[in-house]
């Protein structure tokens, strides 16, 4: 019997972490032991040295922190005594291509549900998200709304109120640094900033 690799993606603020935690709760209600994992790069919700998956609506749970060096197959087999029946990965965009391949391999044993961003602030695919789009058995977009009312598709990064279009791909931040906006608003902000810069 083979299980599925799921990729549930969207922009910041679309309830990815909340849905991951609700899914964890649903599995636990049915008696499953859940292996919840999150990238160690995201330290926003660290508590006493522990990595926590936390949603904007207040749900939270301790999670295993993985790095780019973590081998998920070895990790899963080392925890065999704990009898995990499902794997849930939050912030899966930070996985490497090799790690996504490992998660696909683990679907021989359990279902694997990945929650994360599809693209970075430059509108480019993250490495982990790209591989998930290529090999996941199920793709689900989680929707969020731009301030203008359209569907938000861009994880726009801001600094001192200005849209940022260059810089390091990985820069952890929350609502103070990122805003989910639609593509039209993204283009309009870029044009407006360029116009203001040229007029100085």
If you classify domain 5-143 with CATH, what class do you get?
Answer: alpha beta
Write down the pLDDT at residue 199.
58
First to last CA, the chain: 65
Instruction: Retrieve residue 193's tokens.
Output: 């900033």
The SS3 assignment for 114 reads strand
pLDDT of residue 174: 64
Determine whether 82 is an active site residue: no
In sequence order, what are the residues at sequence separation of 6 or more whose Cβ sits closer than 8 angstroms to the Cβ of residue 123? 154, 186
pLDDT of amino acid 45: 57
Among 60, 82, 91, 127, the active-site one is: 91
CA-nearest of 48, 94, 100 to 67 is 94
pLDDT at 165: 83
The residues, ordered by sequence, that sit 6+ positions from 139 with a Cβ below 8 Å of its Cβ are: 7, 9, 132, 133
Averages of pLDDT over runs of 10 residues in the chain (200 residues) are 92 91 96 94 64 76 92 91 91 97 97 96 95 98 95 92 80 75 93 71
Q: How many CB atoms lie within 10 A of CB 115?
A: 28
pLDDT of residue 140: 97
Domain ranges of the chain: 5-143
Non-local CB neighbours of 9 within 8 Å, separated by 6+ positions = 16, 115, 116, 117, 118, 129, 132, 139, 140, 141, 142
d(CA 130, CA 1): 26
Q: Which residue has the tokens 């480019």?
A: 124
Averaged pLDDT of the chain: 89
Per-position DSSP letters for 76-94, written without gaps between them:
HHHTGGG-EEEEEEESGGG
């Amino acid at each position: 019997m083979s299980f599925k690799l799921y990729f549930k993606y969207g922009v910041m603020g679309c309830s990815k972490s909340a849905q991951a935690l609700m899914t964890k709760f649903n599995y636990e209600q049915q008696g499953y032991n859940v292996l919840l994992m999150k990238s160690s790069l995201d330290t926003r919700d660290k508590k006493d040295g522990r990595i926590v998956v936390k949603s904007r609506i207040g749900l939270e749970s301790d999670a295993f922190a993985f790095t780019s060096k973590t081998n998920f197959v070895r990790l899963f087999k080392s925890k065999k005594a704990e009898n995990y029946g499902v794997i849930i990965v939050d912030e899966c965009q930070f996985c490497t291509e090799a790690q996504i391949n490992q998660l696909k391999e683990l679907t021989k044993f359990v279902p694997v549900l990945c929650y994360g961003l599809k693209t970075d602030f430059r509108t480019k695919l993250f490495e982990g998200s790209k591989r998930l789009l290529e090999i996941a058995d199920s793709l689900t977009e989680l929707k969020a709304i731009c301030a203008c009312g359209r569907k938000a598709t861009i994880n726009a990064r801001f600094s001192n109120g200005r849209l940022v279009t260059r810089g390091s791909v990985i820069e952890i931040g929350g609502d103070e640094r990122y805003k989910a906006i639609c593509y039209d608003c993204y283009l309009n902000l870029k044009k407006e900033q360029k116009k203001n810069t040229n007029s100085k």
